[in-house]
Amino acid sequence: MATAHHILTYAETLSGGGVERAQLRLARGWIALGRRVTLVIGDPTGPLAAEIPPGLELITGAARALPTIIRTLAPDIVFCPGNHYTGIAAWIRIALRGACPPIVAKMSNAPDRGDHGPVLRAAHRFWLARHARFLDHLVAMTPATAAEAAAATRMHGRVSVIPNPPALSSPAPSGPAAPDLPLPPRFILGVGRLEPQKRWDRLIAALERIADRDTALVILGEGTLRPALEAQVRSLGLDGRVHLPGHVADPLSVMRRARVVALTSTFEGVPGVLREALSVGTPVVATDSSRAIPEIVDTASRGTIVPRDDPDALVAALDAWLAPDAPRPLPVPQPGATAAARYLALFDSLVMSPQRPLPRPL
């Protein structure tokens, strides 16, 4: 018998991030399995709004209102969808103390971020080490990231491995329909927000140096760095070869047509874009931005992993996969088909457990 009848989760926006997309896929699965799911959202508009599953209860509210909402609705479980949101989880636990339901968080990004200097790195490690004081359980998406997360958060014995639900073709696209995009004949594909973490400037700079001058670059996504990236394209004289069409709801069909999918991030969690590309038989080139990447790109036939700050290695890898005789990998099925059910089994076990960690000062 289900014990976690009502799951409450929260987010800031539906602007198109991978964390929120996975959150909506999980919610869809939980609702299909008979659970009540409430999403508290700061801004319910955005590219992902069309992916809100039927039956999801939406409450528009800021993070500061969450303790009051939780007191009123009395959910059985609170689900924190990613690292970016654990500060809110801490606030919920402090505000509710003994009346707080179990909080489960997902480790969506690498604990050791590549964009931090020594001071920020130390502060971030200090913050992660406090997570055991306000989280009941942590979910990572691969064994390597689970080990890393357990060490960083000091939550040994309270970390589970559950992959994200797989990407499926969207029946109701929230952006341009991929078949309608004017795509060049030969192109490298990037998929992700136009934000500093993704370092698309590395990929644009590499395009200017690759051997095949007829190959273009398409980056699907939207974000604050669009003006800066467009300026870089103009400065390199790549206006006709770089395409930034914005957010696309269903990128799988574009991935099938790409020569290679590239991910040039400074840090990542478990990048779903790599799994999606390999699921349609498209090779990948990725920076070593996460311990999960070697778990995904686990053979040389599937792609190439390059150092984050080695532009020569990035260009060489792209040239190799763009060669006319470069073979495409066999499709690799995405994991996570049972992710929603596995989360529910975890939620039920936490609700039934008589042992709950008491809130302690952070």
Which residue segment(s) compose the domain that 287 sits in? 178-322
Nearest to 21 by CA among 159, 125, 140, 167: 167
Residues 316 and 347 in one domain: no
What mean pLDDT do residues 276-291 have?
Answer: 96
Q: How far apart are CA 316 and CA 80, in angstroms?
A: 40
What mean pLDDT, rounded, does the chain reach? 91
Q: Tell me if 93 sits within 8 A of 69, measured CB to CB.
A: no
Question: Is 191 found in the same domain as 234?
Answer: yes
* CATH code of the domain containing 196: 3.40.50.2000
- Domain membership flag for residue 29: yes
Q: What is the DSSP letter of 137?
A: E
Residues 158, 15 share a domain: yes
Q: Does the residue 126 lie in any domain?
A: yes
Residues 54-102 pLDDT 10s? 999 999 998 899 999 999 999 999 999 998 899 999 999 999 988 999 9
**Phi, psi (degrees; rounded to nearest 5) at 118:** -60, -40
Q: Is 26 helix (H, G, I), strand (E, B) or coil?
A: helix
- Shared domain for 195 and 230, answered yes or no, is yes
CA distance 33 to 344: 9
pLDDT of the residue at 72: 97
Query: Same domain, yes or no, for 49 and 101?
Result: yes
Taking 70 as the threshold, does the pLDDT of residue 44 lie above it? yes
Q: From CA 39, how far away is CA 14, in angstroms rounded?
A: 11
- Pairing relationship of beta strands 187-191 and 216-220 according to DSSP bridges: parallel
pTM score, two decimals? 0.87
- Claim to verify: residue 16 and residue 139 sit in the same structural domain: yes
In a domain, 361, yes or no: no
d(CA 166, CA 337): 6
**Both tokens of residue 197?**
């973490």
CA–CA distance, 69 with 233 (Å, rounded to integer): 46
The pair of structure tokens assigned to 144 is 């390597």
Of 55, 51, 40, 56, the C-alpha closest to 16 is 51
The answer on 219 and 146 residing in a single domain is: no
331 lies in some domain: no
Burial of 235 (0-12, 13-18, 19+ CB in 10 A): exposed
The string of pLDDT tens digits covering residues 107-116 is 988 777 767 7
307 and 249 fall within a common domain: yes
Whether residue 77 is found in the same domain as residue 215: no
Angle at which helices 18-32 and 272-279 cross, to 10°: 70
When pLDDT is cut at 50, 70 and 90, the band that residue 356 belongs to is: low
Q: Would 105 be classed as within a structural domain?
A: yes
Report whether pLDDT(178) > 60: no
Residues 295 and 316 in one domain: yes
Instruction: Give tens-digit pLDDT for 109-156.
Output: 877 776 777 888 899 899 999 999 999 999 999 999 999 999 999 999
Asked if the structure places residue 16 within a domain, the reply is yes
- Same domain? For 182 and 117 the reply is no
Asked, for residue 360, whether it belongs to a domain, the answer is no
Return all residues near 173 (Cβ < 8 A) that are at least 6 apart: 50, 248, 249, 250
The number of domains in the chain is 2
- Give 317-353 pLDDT, tens digit per residue: 999 999 999 999 999 999 999 999 999 999 999 998 7
Other CB atoms within 10 Å distance of the CB of residue 268: 28
- Residue 346 inside a domain? The answer is yes
Confidence at residue 307, expressed as pLDDT on a 0 to 100 scale: 96
Query: Under DSSP, is residue 244 helix (H, G, I), strand (E, B) or coil?
Result: strand
Q: 191, 176 in Cβ contact below 8 A?
A: no
Name the pLDDT band for 176 (thresholds 50, 70, 90).
Answer: very low
Residues 137 and 226 in one domain: no
Q: Which two tokens stand for residue 209?
A: 């140096």
CA dihedral over 311, 316, 322, 328, signed as positive or negative: negative
Cα–Cα dist 331/346, whole Å: 31
Contacts of 175 (CB under 8 A, 6+ apart): 47, 246, 247, 248, 249
Residues 16-47: b if buried by 16+ CB within 10 A, e if exposed: bbbbbbbbbbbbbbbbeeebbbbbbbeeeebb
Specify whether the CB–CB gap between 250 and 271 falls below 8 A: no
